[in-house]
Amino acid sequence: MNFHVLTLFPEMILNGMNTSITGRAIAAGRLSLEAVNIRDFAFNKHQKVDDYPYGGGAGMLMQAEPVYLAWQSVAEKLERKPRVVYLTPQGQVFRQSMAAELAGEEDLIFLCGHYEGIDERVLEEIVTDYVSIGDYVLTGGELPAMVLMDCISRMVPGVLSNQESGETESFAGNLLEYPQYSRPEEWHGRRVPDILLSGHHANIDKWRREQSILRTAQRRPDLLKKADLTNKEWAWLKAERKQEEL
């Protein structure tokens, strides 16, 4: 997986991504990352990349030409035209299934905006995917781009070690992960649930599945509607919730 980021703040992307698990994957060559400074493609006296919006209004807009040239500098090196993801609160809201789909690409270009946005015409020419990371407004697209790259990276084979493997955790099957415990057996008077110390793997698996279902019902009822529970599990949950009300 090769990530290419078009940004006014390349050091922010490089500092963030060259840390921890993504940093290790980049060093090992499982991922590659380039951060292209859009300002390097502003061929005017002060390397200016923004200007006032036609029609008036607050703030400045990033101009089309430097963005286009920055994109071209990446695209012309590649055999196939890669998808270009523009980070914007106006995009489709990012989710795990989107990460899985994007992880299948060989190259991805992320376009990070700043100021009040980017001239619409260059977006029309180069952007293939408009993606938001949630219903709130940030100062730029760099953090959202890093959120996407982090999430996509961990789905790229070889990026996570076996120990970090991400198969049975939150959002697999639209269920949240069960609670986990490590040593000591008792901490602040709180004991690790006995079943986890029992060594009975079938019972442990059953308990964990039930905990996932309960937790999702409590914390993310919206997700639970999409979870594939058996009829028996739905019945169990109903009984369990009745029990809670008593």
Q: If you count them, how many residues does the chain have?
A: 246
Confirm or reject binding of residue 59 to ligand ADE (CB under 6 A): no
Supply the minimum distance, in Å, between the C-beta of residue 92 and ligand ADE.
10
Supply the minimum distance, in Å, between the C-beta of residue 137 and ligand ADE.
5
Selection from 24, 9, 10, 29 nearest residue 150 by Cα: 24
Q: Is 37 in contact with 6 (CB distance < 8 Å)?
A: no
Q: Which stretch binds ligand ADE (CB under 6 A): 28-36, 133-141, 209-217, 226-234?
A: 133-141
Closer residue to ligand ADE in complex, CB, 82/144: 144
- Which of the residues 70 through 89 are near ligand ADE (CB under 6 A)? 87-89
Confirm or reject binding of residue 7 to ligand ADE (CB under 6 A): no
Interaction pattern, residues 86-125, with ligand ADE; x per rule: CB under 6 A: -xxx------------------------------------
Confirm or reject binding of residue 138 to ligand ADE (CB under 6 A): yes
Confirm or reject binding of residue 132 to ligand ADE (CB under 6 A): yes
d(CA 161, CA 184): 25
Which of 136, 186, 225, 242 binds ligand ADE (CB under 6 A)? It is: 136
Q: Which stretch binds ligand ADE (CB under 6 A): 14-22, 42-50, 68-76, 134-142?
A: 134-142
Please list, in sequence order, all residues whose beta carbon lies within 8 angstroms of the beta carbon of residue 194, skipping any fewer than 6 positions away: none
d(CA 88, CA 140): 9
Q: Which stretch binds ligand ADE (CB under 6 A): 28-36, 40-48, 102-110, 131-139?
A: 131-139
121 to 61, 67, 77, 110: CA distances (angstroms): 12, 11, 23, 17
Identify the burial level of 30 via C-beta atoms within 10 angstroms of its C-beta, where 0-12 means exposed, 13-18 middle and 19 or more buried: middle
Closer residue to ligand ADE in complex, CB, 120/185: 120
75 by DSSP, 3-state: which? helix
Confirm or reject binding of residue 13 to ligand ADE (CB under 6 A): no
Sequence-ordered alpha helix ranges (H) in the chain: 10-17, 20-27, 64-75, 96-102, 120-126, 142-153, 201-219, 221-224, 231-245
**Chain contacts with ligand ADE (rule: CB under 6 A):** 87-89, 132-134, 136-138, 141, 144
